[in-house]
Amino acid sequence: MFSSTEEGPEDDSTKHGGRIRTFPHERGNWATHIYIPYEAKEEFLDLLDVLLSRAQTFVPRLVQMEEFHLSLSQSVVLRHHWILPFVQALKDHMASFQRFFFTANQVKIYTNQEKTRTFIGLEVTSGHAQFLDLVSEVDRVMEEFDLTTFYQNPSFHVSLAWCVGDACLQLEGQCLQELQEIVDEFEDSEMLLRVLAEQVRCKSGNKFFSMPLK
């Protein structure tokens, strides 16, 4: 499945919008992340267009996320030769989990730990217990490989848009209230933002591994 080289993806900041890496890329190190993918339907993208247009009146540099997901882990570094054993351990721990519905409809503002990036997200308001159960198993795998576990008391969410820097002051308050009103009043938003979680995915470098839920 892998070529014999141990080099991960090249570290070119122009390819990720000038974002600052949380950890340096080194030969043989692969940035790894576990998440539930969020497949964006046309109506969801319509809602996002309205939200982003409004949010950009407060912070013009905001841009839409390229893909959508709900994180089950922090981004960690795996040595190349640990990727397949790590993925197999994940699959073993995920084997008994069933698919479930969740709703993400609460607008919330987030920053990364270093406050070098700000995100507008939709927080999970139902299905939280199932996410906690998944994270519990992911954390066990992380501990097996001596990696960082997930945040305490996590806020599960789908990030919609982001910008460089800490823009919390501009986005919270009036902007946040207006964005929530857009979500609440959007046609069929209750059904639109109720999603079936069908798989857990692991991205390591440029490789993707899917673990279907039962």
pLDDT digits (tens, 9 = 90+) for 31-83: 999 999 999 999 999 999 999 999 999 999 999 999 999 999 999 999 999 99
- Residues 14-52 as b/e (b if ≥16 CB within 10 A, e otherwise) read eeeeeeeeeeebeeebbbbebbbbbeeeeebeebbeebb
As a whole number, mean pLDDT of residues 153-160 equals: 97
Please say if the pLDDT value at position 16 is more than 50: no
pLDDT at position 20 over 60: no
Place 6 in a pLDDT band, splitting at 50, 70 and 90. very low
pLDDT band at 26 (very low <50, low <70, confident <90, very high): low
pLDDT tens-digit map of 168-202: 999 999 999 999 999 999 998 989 999 999 999 99
E-strand stretches of 16-116 = 29-37, 63-64, 69-71, 76-79, 100-111
Q: How high is the pLDDT of residue 25?
A: 54
Would you give the DSSP letter of residue 19? P
Rounded mean pLDDT, 81-109: 97
119/163 Cα distance (integer angstroms): 7
Residue pointed to by tokens 């190349």: 80
Residues with a catalytic annotation lie at: 69, 157
Q: What pLDDT does residue 4 have? A: 28
Identify the bridge partners of residue 34 per DSSP, sorted by sequence position.
202
Q: What are phi and psi of 113, to 5 degrees?
A: -60, -35
Per the prediction, the chain carries an average pLDDT of 90
More confident residue, 40 or 2: 40
Cβ–Cβ under 8 Å, residues 69 and 37: yes
Q: Residue 9: is its pLDDT beyond 60?
A: no
pLDDT beyond 60 at 2? no
Give the position of tokens 């309205």.
Answer: 50
pTM above 0.85, yes or no: yes
State the average pLDDT over residues 94-119: 96
The pair of structure tokens assigned to 5 is: 């080289």
Looking at residue 24, its pLDDT comes to: 54
- CB neighbours of 156 closer than 8 A, spacing ≥ 6? 70, 71, 102, 104, 123, 124, 127, 128, 131
Determine the average pLDDT of the residues in 1-18. Answer: 39
